[in-house]
Amino acid sequence: MTATTDGSTGALPPRAASASETDSTNPVATGVHDVAVRAVQRSTAFLLSRQDAQGWWKGDLETNVTMDAEDLLLRQFLGILDEATAHAAALFIRGEQREDGTWASFYGGPGELSTTVEAYVALRLAGDEPDAPHMAKASAWIRARGGIAASRVFTRIWLALFGWWKWEDLPELPPELIYFPKWVPLNIYDFGCWARQTIVPLTIVSAKRPVRPAPFPLDELHTDPDNPNPPKPLAPAASWDGAFQRLDKALHRLRKVVPRGLRRSAMNSAARWIIERQENDGCWGGIQPPAVYSVIALYLLGYDLEHPVMREGLASLDRFAVWREDGARMVEACQSPVWDTCLATIALVDAGVPADHPQLVKAADWMLGEEIVRPGDWAVKRPQLPPGGWAFEFHNDNYPDIDDTAEVVLALRRVKHHDPERVDRAIGRGVRWNLGMQSKNGAWGAFDVDNTSPFPNRLPFCDFGEVIDPPSADVTAHVVEMLAVEGLSHDPRTRRGIEWLLAEQEPDGSWFGRWGVNYIYGTGSVVPALVAAGFPGSHPAIRRAVAWLESVQNDDGGWGEDLRSYKDAKKWSGKGASTASQTAWALMALLAAGERDSKAVERGVEWLAATQREDGSWDEPYFTGTGFPWDFSINYHLYRQVFPLTALGRYVNGEPFSAKPLAEVKGG
């Protein structure tokens, strides 16, 4: 028996030989199975010890230093930047600087211009002098890449707040956008939820064009300080880019003649939209970017910092701060307790923890309490669909997501709860909601239905990240797996999702990963889903996936994939330093495909066991999560724990679910 965080006890998987009895890291001495059992035991104990008393798990969500830089810029703009916060943020930002003076957007990645500009400005705010060696190296690199003028729009918006860039040289974003009905192109619901929540407050900022006195000049970041933004040639008028560039020029002229009453009314309507979507914890959407822009927008409309909306908004941003032992302060872009908790629950049950273990029941209770039972913005497209989903974060009732809902259902189904009827009712609502969120092509996006308009990505304003939410293979696979477990493999809606997945398989046998890096994540999601739905391991689509995974296994036995596969799939697909989470994804696919006794699986299990730390955890500096492919990457600190445990547990205990063969499906 092992002690849990709440003082209860629960059985762990069957005991293997202890470290004193045999060398548990030597597969030759003990056999791969025994090594895997020992790794499962250690990992299980580690994960159980990390559960919060309320029942949830949450790992740090690490992105890049733009979160920290923009937090300082926000506080400077509002006049509330204090020395202690600036010092702690600067300590973290300096620690992330690369040898060449730059900052990257992910671990091991190349220097990134906009990230480097924002980090540099933040350090100036914290008191670092421009002639300090680390600052001079950064500014020289920035100038060599085109200076501030070459940075993305969002970076230049932050600089415009202090007069370091001209508002006239930024794309126009009129607040009257709030009045566009949903059938008009470029209405706010044409954008993905994360973009929508950011754009609405930015329309107010764009209309107001505020400038606070700059505490210092930034001439050293321009290639030519006297002419920082020379005119750029327009794309051909017949092209989409050219058309939208000319539309932006027309909007710049239009702002001079828009009736003041109309503009004021539009900004007030946008403010109401923002305030209506503030969550109970004060945040917006559970993510940092909409929160900072919403605070700025409302401040510009006269909301003082002691107004309840503002006070709670700022307090919510403080909760995104992670304080490290050295005194550094890292700001999370988001927090992922629902996602982490359902994945941890799945991992522990698959690893052999009893389904009625007190900590698993507590996790199920917490997840049940997080179900969202009121409509959100998704209801704009599905007004008749009853609610019943789960969000990613602690508080995000407006935007439950399809991926979390599928995984929560899979997690709840694994737990033996004392109130099974309550669990069944919640699962029934989640299944119904996910089915109702199916897009017309048969697949599923993350947050919205048919969020596939081609126009938002064309706007000059949208030069960073994804602004729409089309269906993806990984989300669709998780829904299909969930539906299969619920006995709906033969449901026409499930079969449409399966047909879409088969059609999306890459020629090499892999699947693209939208929310995880990248083809390993996509493949690791789809193969278990197809098998759960009844596909035999001999199916051609699965055999192609197995062959691809075997072909990209690293010499050390693990798997890894660099984020550069999003830009250059031919060169980087399935290639990169081995990581615990990506090795686990590959193993989950291979095990589902019936490859348990293969040499590839054996070597993968050996790699996970050999790289496990003494406390049962794994180290993983690499970013294997995806916010926006290439542009915004995430290191989920719990991924390195939950996915290896899931893979090793399935190796030791077998696949968690079995299914009857599915009738022949088109494709493959």
Active site (catalytic) residues: 403
CA-to-CA dists, residue 186 to 206, 239, 399, 441, angstroms: 17, 18, 20, 21
DSSP state of 307: S
Distance CA 445, CA 470 (A): 5
- Cα–Cα distance for residue pair 447/426, rounded to 1 Å: 19
Rounded CA gap, 87 and 129, in Å?
Answer: 14
Count CA atoms within 13 Å of residue 244 on its CB side: 17
| 17's tokens | 């030989």
The 10 Å Cβ neighbour count of residue 570 is 7
Per DSSP, the three-state class of 243 is: helix
Dist CA 227 CA 223 (whole Å)? 8
Nearest to 347 by CA among 589, 646, 56: 646
Q: Kindly state the tokens that stand for 108.
A: 């091991």
- The Cα 668–Cα 661 span in angstroms is 15
Tell me the three state secondary structure of residue 295: helix
Q: Is 165 in contact with 151 (CB distance < 8 Å)?
A: no
SS (H, E, C) 308-374: HHHHHHHHHHHCCEEECCCCCEEECCECCHHHHHHHHHHHHHHCCCCCCCHHHHHHHHHHHHCCECC
